Chain A
């Protein structure tokens, strides 16, 4: 009796909910969906840190990947469960449990006008570089990250290259003896 009470008080969800049961529609207080058989949870941006803490406490001991998608030019349907409003940015974090040998993915919706989300650094220190990469290339800021700086692009770079409104651009190949072709078509003129 005592144990069950503790479980009910401690975690918002009982441990039964996290078993890969196809019928479960919520886990850790978030909606669950399945993408090609892979389980995905959809936490709310405001509770992202709490959900991650619950994940860590529940045995998801490694956050292997953090990335983001800019859905601003997406033509298809977003495949989100009911109650999750699509936003421009989506943060994707993948977790592994070494004990159950299972994977779990979280997709967090982040609005375009306020691209900020809690950092997981204090729960999963391995997200340090991954969050810096997302910040650098996608322009999503992480609240509570110890060193939110650019990691792949130079520190004084403008813009976030993986956003869909960032042009691909091209640097013209300069062949020999075509000096005329190289005037006015430098990388600055292209952007």
Chain B
């Protein structure tokens, strides 16, 4: 059945008839009620459309316009091809790939120990989550247990990373919508979190801190005081955000009812994270499919009720509060012990032993040059990143490098909801929609 009416890949690369009014014949797409929001048009077709003389026809009064890839509110290099009727968006098409560097292909060339340096550059606002999901996938394949302290350090670091990522959202969302001073405030608070990261991992971003087998280093002296200072600093600042934005009539006017997504659409479009939760679907992998030790901490899953941009803003603001709650519990429960598995297979020997033992030196050398071998198999692991389900599909052929490494980026999949949110709204609201989906283009394009 598939063989007879199929097209070979080469034939269908630029199909001129890809530009059709509706996505499918009526009745087929019961799960997606709002059809026709997605613009299906190739670059070639769009160029022809732009070059052609406008017809005097009443039915052809729409205009094609590009927004991005270097528009300040498109969060990097997102480009939107908009079909406009006056100032109203009829259909839209996110055009991506400007930041594509073939990181999944690169991942096949790097050993499992080098892998985190690659994946951490995908979602650069939440790098620790990428490292975490990759490490969890490798550990699942190898079958090693990591020490309790390593688990809790990972939880501490990723929850702080969730805070810093959402603070970045607060900053950029504020600026996109005209609350320009919010840019400074959000950045200021995020900077404090990044300083702590620098102290622990040595870097502000792209840490390569969470590695297969544990974490790269134990928490430094005085880490508890640093975290406590952060946790005391943040709540009053969040109150300030409430004063500055949440209760502001202008802010609410700008966001409420803008970019509405229904729960049915969100589920059909595979949306996850705050985009899904804003529609009222309480789904958080930390609670629903616990990983690390999230079943041992107490927190609430924040959900919205209208699925609009305001809900997505409010959810992220309150998720910072929930993360603070979690971090405070982690501070109480942080167990003593080792920060990485003492499994000779994946863990290099302690630095001091290399000076004394030839075997330790060889062992160290082998792990860092050849890498450790991972048993054959395939596995899919997912964590709840600030943007939704971040998944890693890993295939091993028994060698020291992944045979295939695929990252399921939540931004990439959530981007599909954008045309549906934008349909029949104004260009100015498109800015609010892009901002509230909070895509990180490094992860979209990989």
Contact = CB atoms under 8 A, between A and B. Distances in A.
A154 B9 contact: no
Interface residues of B, number: 69
A31 interface: no
Interface in A131-162: 133, 135, 137, 139-141, 143, 146-156, 160-162
Interface of B is mostly: loop
Contact of B24 (A75, A146, A168): A146
B23 A168 contact: no
A154 B43 CA distance: 10
A160 to B, nearest CB: 7
B244 interface: no
A128 interface: yes
Interface stretch (B11-19, B187-195, B316-324, B429-437): B11-19
B376 A76 contact: yes
B289 A46 contact: no
Interface in B20-68: 20, 23-24, 28-29, 31-32, 38, 40, 42-44
A127 B32 CA distance: 12
Contact of A155 (B44, B105, B395): B44
Interface stretch (A6-14, A18-26, A63-71): A63-71
Interface in B402-433: 403-404, 406, 408, 412-413, 415-416
Given A75-B397, A94-B408, 13 more contacts: A35-B377, A36-B143, A45-B2, A46-B2, A75-B399, A76-B398, A117-B2, A125-B32, A126-B413, A130-B413, A153-B100, A155-B42, A168-B105
Interface of B: 1-3, 5-9, 12-15, 18, 20, 23-24, 28-29, 31-32, 38, 40, 42-44, 96-97, 100, 102, 104-105, 109, 140-141, 143, 267-272, 281, 283, 288-289, 376-380, 382, 389, 391, 393, 395-399, 403-404, 406, 408, 412-413, 415-416, 445-446
Interface of A: 35-36, 38, 45-46, 61-65, 67, 69-70, 74-77, 79, 92, 94, 98, 101, 103, 105, 114-118, 121-130, 133, 135, 137, 139-141, 143, 146-156, 160-162, 168
